[in-house]
Structures are given as C-alpha cells and as structure tokens.
Chain A
Amino acid sequence: MINLKGLGVAMVTPFNADMSIDFESLKKLTHYLIDNGVHYLVVQGTTGESPVLSEQEKLAVLDTVIKENAGRLPIVYGIGGNNTQQVAKQLAEFDVPGVDAILSVSPYYSKPTQEGIFQHFKTLAANSKLPIILYNVPGRTSSNMLPETTLRLAKTCENIIGIKEACGDLNQVMHLIKDKPMDFYIISGDDDLALPFINIGGDGVISVIGNGLPKAFSNMINAALNNDIITARKFHYQCFPLIYHLFSEGNPAGIKEVLKYYNITETTVRLPLMNVSATTKGKIVEILNNL
C-alpha cells in the first residue's frame, strides 16, 4: 500500500512563453523535488492547472514525471469533477503504470448534500482500480464534506485510503482523527496549517510551497512527524511569511515566481490566472533573499 506519510508536492505545470508545456523545466522540477526530500509527487492537482490542460496534455505531463521519477517516489494523479458518471468513466478507463493513487476533489459548484457527496465517492471507488484520496476544499468547491461523511467513506470503501483536508478548521480535523480507521491517512491541504495539523495527529501535507522550498518544508514535516517541535517550528516560521504571498493572487501564480527565482521554471500561467503583480513579486523575492 502507498505510504502517504510526510510531504507530498502538488506539482506545477511549467509553460513556455507561447503557453505550450515546458517539458524540460518539468523534468528539472521533478528531479529538484526528488533530490530535496519530498516523499511523494502529486501530478495534475489544481496547482498543476489541470482545469486548463487538455486530457492529452495531462497525460503527457504524467508520462514525463513517471519517466523522470523512475519509480523512486510514489505518484498520485488528480482525477475529479462534479459529473459523477463522467469521473467514474475516466477512473474505470485509467490504466497508467507508475501511478499509485488518485486524488479526487469533492464535487464543486453543484453544492450536493452530504449523502450526494457520499454516493459520488462511493461510485468513484467502485469504478477505480487505484486507491483514492479524497480532497475536501470548501473554499474552492463551495461545499464542505463533513467528518461524518468522510468517516463513512473511510469505513465503507476499501480503496478510499485518505483525505487531503483543506477545510481550514482544525476542530473538524480533530473530529476526523479521533474516529478514523487506523490506516486512513489525514493529510493537510493547507501549507500554513501543516505543522499544527501534524501536531494533532495528521499524517503530513500535500503542499504548494514544497515546489519551491522542498528542503526546508520537508525538514519541517520530518521534524514534526518525529515530535521535534523546536526544529519543526523553526522551519515553519521560516516558510510561513512566504505562504500568504503565494496565494494572494491565485495559485500557482505565486509559487511560479518562487520557481523562477530558483531558475527552475518560468512564471507563465494560463488564463484565467495571471502573473502576480510587481508588488507581490517584490515581496516574494524579498522573503526569498532573506531565507
């Protein structure tokens, strides 16, 4: 079974100036993450700008990461949506060796009931050959998957193995951790809450900042998982000022500025995202200069 303890990075998709995929930078990014202590790679989450990539492009990105990874780290691939039948069909047909699990976002926009969310994921689980990680991000989906629903899925669907929880509410997370099955992963979807999340019993984080600062962030996660709170806190506050600016003008526009600073990718994003303003860029660069 895939080990999801530690730091997973939701990888960005680098683009050339003409908006085509920059595969050379993607290769560079893959090695950068593997060489700097990341525990697993997440390909085509929303940080990878999956809504603006064609199916063919997504699979080309996945293929590149699988080849560069060469089996070193587990790979999680994003397949989700708010059309249950369509996502179920995608999952049933998905057969790419080298992928260890699927990350699937809770249905967005439609605002389904808790029973609707349960039946959605139950249908996906029945159609997927791979283990599924749920993704709850109410700030983006406009509906919160409550702990009762997550726990019901955890207990009834064998191949639902964890949740990326980005509800932003540690109280909700504690309800999950208290009653979860032992081998069900609870993973933070928020970089700024990763440390407190692990302190209350979480398993790690699927991170955005980890694209740019994999070493510092994996040091923080490792220290937190080893109950070395002093070290964890040191790295947490080192990364913390940057996190706000990464998301202030849309993700992954912010993190692409960090990757540009480290000469890994260009800053190009596809519409409707825009590059960050000069002010935000200035703040990001200033923080990175002082790290």
Chain B
Amino acid sequence: MKTKNSYNPDARNIALLPRPAYKEVLVIISKSEQINHNLLHQYFPNATFSFLSNRTEKEDNSKGMNYTLHKKDFFFKTLKNERLKNLTKKTFDLLIDLNEDNDKLIYFVENINAGLKIGCFNKPNNHLYDILTKPSLEIVDVVNSMVKQLDILTLNNKK
C-alpha cells in the first residue's frame, strides 16, 4: 500500500504564470506527426519547445529539442538511454502531456522537473498532474481545452 505523499508535488514550486511567461515547454506526445507547431507557438509565443514522442526503430537518431523513446530504452524500469537521461535532468516551466497510450512515457511526467504539469483525465497516475483536462480524439481540442483551463486558473490565482 502506498504511503501518503510518496509523491509530493508540493515539494515543487508550482508555477501558474500568464502564458507569455512560459519559456521552456516540454510536450509529450505519442507520435511526433500529431504536433501542431503553429497552435503551440500561438498559445505560448515566447516559449522554446522540446518534444518527446515514441519511435519504432531501436536506434535513437533524435536531435536537438526532439527526444524519442523506444521500449528497449528501458531495462525493466531503469532508463538506459543517455540522451533521455539528460532530458530528465532538465528543468521546464511547463510540461504538456498529450500522450494517450504509451505508459512508459509516464516515467518522464513523474521524473522531469517542471513548474506546471498538464495532462488528460482517464490516465493512471492522475496525481502527477497539476491540471487535468478532458481527453478528446483531436489533439487540437485537447490543447485548446488545456489552455482554457490554464487561463482560468492563472486569473483566479492572480485574484
């Protein structure tokens, strides 16, 4: 049985900021081709984006701000891929999890230090997220909904 606060996000400094203030944003998504870059840049105009998605080939050829995960990057529950290990050491202002099906990607939601973590309902480990939104078939709808919630909470927090 889990002890209360085995995971404690209160230990983090949760940063609810106006959207233009987010500078470093990590987007986790099942497949990289699902990303709508224009939409993200429109909502977070001053952000530099990093992306983490799945890959099918065993070798990791990802570069720059793009990171990819293969199931063999884990040996049991230990991460072996050096590039991904370095990713977990980075700090982000915002983590957006749009991934729908790969449970291995949850490792990064838990282990990456981000000021704010946003995800969708109907996932295990709901407690890892600061804000949850309704899942939808369209990624665009999910992003729109997340941004709407983020704005409401930021305004309330300011008040």
Contact = CB atoms under 8 A, between A and B. Distances in A.
Contacts of A158: 4-5, 8, 10
A155 B2 CA distance: 9
B43 interface: no
B105 interface: no
B131 A156 contact: no
Contacts of B121: 114-115, 148
Interface residues on B, range: 20 to 34
Interface in A80-103: 84-85
B4 A181 contact: yes
Nearest to A122: B130
A184 B10 CA distance: 17
A115 B159 contact: no
A179 B4 CA distance: 11
A187 to B, nearest CB: 15
B105 to A, nearest CB: 19
Interface in A132-190: 148, 151-152, 154-158, 161, 179, 181-184
A181 B149 contact: no
B127 interface: yes
B3 interface: yes
B64 to A, nearest CB: 33
Contacts of A23: none
Interface string B5-28: 111111000000000000000000
B126 interface: yes
Contact of B133 (A115, A151, A154): A115
A118 B4 contact: no
A118 B118 CA distance: 13
Contacts of A199: none
Interface string A106-123: 000000001100110001
Given A84-B156, A118-B132, A181-B2, A151 B127 contact: yes
Interface of A: 84-85, 114-115, 118-119, 123, 148, 151-152, 154-158, 161, 179, 181-184
Q: Which 9 A-B pairs have the closest CB atoms?
A: A181-B4, A155-B127, A152-B127, A152-B126, A183-B4, A156-B127, A182-B3, A182-B1, A156-B9
